[in-house]
Amino acid sequence: MVLLSGGQDSTTCLAWALKRFARVHTLAIDYGQRHRIELEAASEIARMAGVAHALVPCDSFRALGGNALTGDEAVTAGVRAENQLPNTFVPGRNLIFLTLAAAFAYQRGSANLVTGVCETDYSGYPDCRDETMTALQESLRRGMDAPFVIHTPLMRLSKADTVRLAQDLGALPLLAHSHTCYNGLIPPCGACPACQLRAKGFAEAGIADPLLERLARA
Amino acid sequence: MVLLSGGQDSTTCLAWALKRFARVHTLAIDYGQRHRIELEAASEIARMAGVAHALVPCDSFRALGGNALTGDEAVTAGVRAENQLPNTFVPGRNLIFLTLAAAFAYQRGSANLVTGVCETDYSGYPDCRDETMTALQESLRRGMDAPFVIHTPLMRLSKADTVRLAQDLGALPLLAHSHTCYNGLIPPCGACPACQLRAKGFAEAGIADPLLERLARA
C-alpha cells in the first residue's frame, strides 16, 4: 500500500514498491489540497503504473487548522503549509495519513505500507523522522493486531539520491507526470521552493527532469 | 482534551477530567454517525459542564468502509459497527480519533488526552487495549514532539465500576443527558446490546440510571 501524493518522492516510492512486491495498491488522501492537480497527477501515475488506486477523503485538517481552532491566522498558515511543507498545517499529519493507509491495507489483507517521508529534506518535522515511523509502526501493529511494516525507502536520501534511485528503478517516465510546484502550475513556476528543490536534485544527479522534457516536447 | 462521544463512558471521563485539571476542553468527532443524537448529547453535556466543545469532522471512515474498499458487504458491516461496537467498522478507529485529538490539543497548548476506552467491555478490540494506548502515546509524542499523556480512567473498570465512579464524581446529572441506545431512540429502546449493557451496569452498582429518571419525570 503506497501513499501516493502525486509528487516526486511518493512516485519514486511507487516504483520502489513495484520492484519489491508482487501486488501494489496506491492510496491518495484528499485533505482539501488547494491544487487538485496533485490528486490528478497521483491518479494518472497509478494508471500508468497499472496499479489499483484509491482516493480517501479526510476533511479533518481544514477544521483543525481553521475555524475550529484559532481562526484566520491558522487558516493562513494552513493554506501556506498545504502547499509547502508537510506538518506545519496540522502536527502529526503523517500519523493520520499512515493510519488511514493502514486501515485500508488491513481490510485488503496487506501489511506493507510505503511512504516517501524523508529526514533529509524535512528534518525539522517530527512526523517525518525515522524514530516517529518506528513508534507509529508499533502503534499500528498493536492497534490493529496486524504485522504492519512501514517502508521508508527515501528516509536517508538527499534529493539527488532520490533522483538517482528513480532512474535506477526506471521511474523517470512516471516522474514525467509527477507534480511538485507549490503554485500548482504546469509548466511548473520554477521559482517556488518546491520547484527549486526539485531542480537542484536533478541538477546534482546530472539527470534531466523528465517532466520538463515532456512539457518541452508537448 | 476529552474525547466526548456523548455516551456514558466518555461523559464519566469528562467528570473525571473536571476533578483533575483546571482547564478542560471536549472534542467530538463527526464521522458520519447514523444517529446525530449522539453528537447533540455531547454538545449538551459539554454545555452543562461549562467547558468549551469542538466538533471535528472526519469523512474518511465512510470511504474506508464503503465503496473505496470491499463494496456492499463492508458497507453493511460499517453501518452495523457504527451503531454497536467501536473498531469493527474501521480497524484502528481510536488511533485516528486520538491522533486528531492530539493535533487539536497541541495547537491549544495541551498535552493531556482523556479517553473512555476500556479493556473490560471491549477486550476483543485491539485499539481499546492498554498496550495500544501506550504505543500510541509514544507515537504521538515523537510525531509531534510534545509530552502527550493518554489518560484512560476506565481502562480496567467493569460497567458497574464506571457507574460507581460516575456517582463518586457527581456525574449523574451529566449522565442524565448521555446517549447509549444503538437504535438512536429517546427513551432508549432497552433491548439493544448497548441499552442492556448500560442497564446491567446501573443494576449491579445499585444506582438508578439518571437518564431513565429524567425521562420518567419529563
Domain ranges of chain B: 2-179
**CATH number of A2-217, picked from 3.40.50.620, 3.30.420.40, 3.40.50.720, 3.40.50.10490:** 3.40.50.620
Please indicate whether residue B201 or residue A79 has the higher confidence score (pLDDT): B201
Whether residue B102 contacts residue B113, with contact meaning beta carbons closer than 8 Å, is answered with yes
Chain B CB contacts of A107 under 8 Å are: 64, 69-70, 74, 90-91
Minimum mean pLDDT among A66-75, A100-109, B145-154, B208-217: which range? Answer: A66-75
Please indicate whether residue A71 or residue A178 has the higher confidence score (pLDDT): A178
Chain B CB contacts of A135 under 8 Å are: 135, 138-139, 141-143
> Is the complex ipTM higher than 0.90?
no
Alpha-helix runs per DSSP H in A21-151: 37-49, 60-65, 72-82, 93-107, 130-144
Q: Beta-carbon neighbour count of residue B98 at 10 Å?
A: 30
Alpha-helix runs per DSSP H in A120-208: 130-144, 159-168, 172-175, 193-205
Minimum mean pLDDT among A85-94, A162-171, B173-182, B205-214: which range? Answer: A85-94
Q: How far is CA A105 from CA A55, A135, A150, B100, in A?
A: 13, 18, 12, 20
- Cross-chain Cβ contact B140/A92 below 8 Å: yes
Strand order in the sheet with B2-3: B52-57, B25-30, B2-3, B112-114, B149-151
Mutate to test the interface with A, among B142, B148, B150 (most CBs of A within 10 A): B142
Taking CA atoms, what residue in A is nearest to B54? Answer: A68
Task: Categorize the per-residue pLDDT at A73 as very low, low, confident or very high, splitting at 50, 70 and 90.
Answer: very low
pLDDT above 90 for A20:
yes
B2-179 folds as Rossmann fold (3.40.50)
Reduced to 3 states (helix: H, G, I; strand: E, B; else coil), residue A27 is strand
Letter string b/e over residues A37-50, b meaning 16 or more CB atoms within 10 A of that residue's CB: ebbebbbbbbeebe
Mean pLDDT of A46-63: 93
DSSP letter, residue B90 = S
Compute the count of residue pairs across chains A and B with CB atoms less than 8 Å apart.
145
Chain B CB contacts of A127 under 8 Å are: 143-144
- Cross-chain Cβ contact B95/A143 below 8 Å: yes
What pLDDT, on the 0 to 100 scale, is given for residue B125?
82
Q: Beta-carbon neighbour count of residue B107 at 10 Å?
A: 17
Mean pLDDT of A105-133: 88
Please indicate whether residue A202 or residue B68 has the higher confidence score (pLDDT): A202
- Cross-chain Cβ contact A136/B143 below 8 Å: yes
Ranges in chain B, pLDDT < 70:
65-90, 121-124
Rounded to an integer, what distance in angstroms lies between the CA atom of residue B14 and that of residue B28?
A: 12
Taking CA atoms, what residue in A is nearest to B101? Answer: A64
Whether residue A65 contacts residue A32, with contact meaning beta carbons closer than 8 Å, is answered with no
Rounded to an integer, what distance in angstroms lies between the CA atom of residue A9 and that of residue A39?
A: 14
Q: Name the residue with cell 479533518.
A: A60
Please name the helix (run of DSSP H) or strand (run of DSSP E) that holds residue B61, with its range, or none: helix B60-65
What pLDDT, on the 0 to 100 scale, is given for residue B64?
79
Rounded to an integer, what distance in angstroms lies between the CA atom of residue B69 and that of residue A107?
A: 7
- Cross-chain Cβ contact B143/A127 below 8 Å: yes
What pLDDT, on the 0 to 100 scale, is given for residue A72?
34
What pLDDT, on the 0 to 100 scale, is given for residue B1?
98
pLDDT above 60 for A196:
yes
pLDDT digits (tens, 9 = 90+) for B158-189: 999 999 999 999 999 999 999 999 889 999 99
What residues of chain A have any CB closer than 8 angstroms to a CB in chain B? 54-60, 63-64, 68-70, 74, 90-96, 99-100, 102-104, 106-108, 126-127, 129, 131-132, 135-136, 138-146
The residue among B93, B108, B98, B86 whose CA lies nearest residue B143 is B98
Closest CB from A56, A135, A136 relative to B63: A56
- pTM recorded for the entire structure: 0.89
Chain A CB contacts of B135 under 8 Å are: 135, 138-139, 141-143
Torsional class of B28: left (φ above 0), alpha (ψ -120 to 50), beta (otherwise): beta
- Cross-chain Cβ contact B92/A99 below 8 Å: yes
Please indicate whether residue A25 or residue A121 has the higher confidence score (pLDDT): A25
Chain A CB contacts of B107 under 8 Å are: 64, 69-70, 74, 90-91
Chain A CB contacts of B140 under 8 Å are: 92, 95
Taking CA atoms, what residue in B is nearest to A135? Answer: B139
- Cross-chain Cβ contact A56/B69 below 8 Å: no
What pLDDT, on the 0 to 100 scale, is given for residue A125?
82
Q: What rounded mean pLDDT belongs to chain A?
A: 87
